Amino acid sequence: MADGHSQQQHDYHIIDPSPWPFIGSVGALVMAIGGIAYMRYLNGGEYLMFGVDLANPWLFFIGLVIVLYTMFAWWSDTIKEAHEGHHTKVVSLHLRYGMIMFIASEVMFFVAWFWAFFDATLYADEPIQILRNAYTGGQWPPAGIEVLDPLHLPLFNTVILLLSGTTVTWAHHALLHGDRNGLVWGLTLTVVLGMIFSSVQAYEYAVAPFAFKESLYGATFFMATGFHGFHVLVGTIFLIVCLVRAMIGHFTPEQHFGFEAAAWYWHFVDVVWLFLFFCVYVWASWGAPIAHGH
């Protein structure tokens, strides 16, 4: 009778007390304060808190290290729990719900940048918007702006990212059919393609004929594409972790939420790029002078 009452009678996982939510929140707070302090430092100003000048670059990076370590340790605990059999069908379903909500929040994050972009492009000639006209000359792209050729590096990167979507899908299907070799090769190719994309975008930024702070065009362009590039970098790291786990043998056809989450995230990155390519690179640059060689 006592043994029967001590056994788990439900499909949920009651986790052990964990320090990571508290440590992660402390790291995020330190990183947020440090980010403000870093910007004050770059502008040569002060950032006084409790009588202490915090204007320095180090506080931000201390917070960043705490957050990154929390992510590593927390996710390591989650992987350990999965191997111990705690991730039942109900728990796995709720993990998927969590990933869906995370991606939904990321969608809204990019909606904000697209909103700013379309506000600038569709209402560039609004007479009441004096400040904006000072930057745009009442047109979009703004007067005097040379744009990147959308059929050159941007199109190349579009093909690269679409190919990476097919290779990660290949890896997923290989996993479902128990083909570990196909899983490893599919993930390897996806990681390589992600690195190529990031390298090409870095080169594109280096040769861009406009700067971030010289015009509203540059600001909206670099914020939208830059945050996407950051997400590609994060997704590539995510896939590298999955590749290492696949080589170790962590994933099975029945249990592979970590890989599935990475694949969902990567497809999300693909879709956002398609919108960026057609809206920012093609539509919003139509008719503008193209910078020679770019």
Q: Pull the structure tokens for residue 146.
A: 């040379």
Instruction: Give the long-range contacts of residues 159-163, CB within 8 A, separation 24 or more.
Output: 160/193, 160/196, 160/197, 160/200, 161/193, 161/197, 161/232, 161/269, 161/270, 161/273, 162/270, 163/193
Least Cα distance to 132 among 144, 141, 120 occurs for 120
Q: Pull the structure tokens for residue 13.
A: 């996982």
Least Cα distance to 217 among 292, 129, 116 occurs for 116
CATH topology for the 18-86 domain: Helix Hairpins (1.10.287)
pLDDT score for 292? 65
Compute, in degrees rounded to 10, the torsion defined by CA atoms 286, 288, 291, 292: 80
HSE (side-chain half, CA atoms, 13 Å) at 268: 24
DSSP string, 1-59: -HHHHHS--SS---PPP-SHHHHHHHHHHHHHHHHHHHHHHHTT---EETTEE--SSHH
pLDDT score for 94? 87
Dist CA 144 CA 290 (whole Å): 11
List the Cα angle 158/160/113 in 5-degree steps.
Answer: 40
Dist CA 156 CA 193 (whole Å): 11
Is the Cβ–Cβ distance between 94 and 59 less than 8 Å? no
Same fold, 18-86 and 87-294: no
Least Cα distance to 264 among 172, 179, 162, 160 occurs for 172
Instruction: Find how far residue 294's CA is from the centre of its chain.
Output: 26
CA distances in angstroms from 91 to 20, 81, 99, 176, 221, listed in the order given: 19, 11, 13, 20, 40
Of the CATH numbers 1.25.40.10, 1.20.120.80, 1.20.1050.10, 3.30.70.1450, which one belongs to the domain with range 87-294?
A: 1.20.120.80
Dist CA 158 CA 147 (whole Å): 17
Dist CA 190 CA 168 (whole Å): 6
pLDDT score for 135? 57
pLDDT score for 5? 46
pLDDT tens by residue, the chain, 294 residues: 445 444 566 677 677 788 999 999 999 999 999 999 999 998 888 888 888 888 898 999 999 999 999 999 998 888 888 777 777 788 888 889 999 999 999 999 999 989 888 888 877 665 445 445 455 666 777 777 788 888 889 999 999 999 999 999 999 999 999 899 999 999 999 999 999 999 999 999 998 888 887 778 888 889 999 999 999 999 999 999 999 999 998 888 888 888 999 999 999 999 999 999 999 898 887 777 777 655
**Domain locations in the chain as residue ranges:** 18-86, 87-294
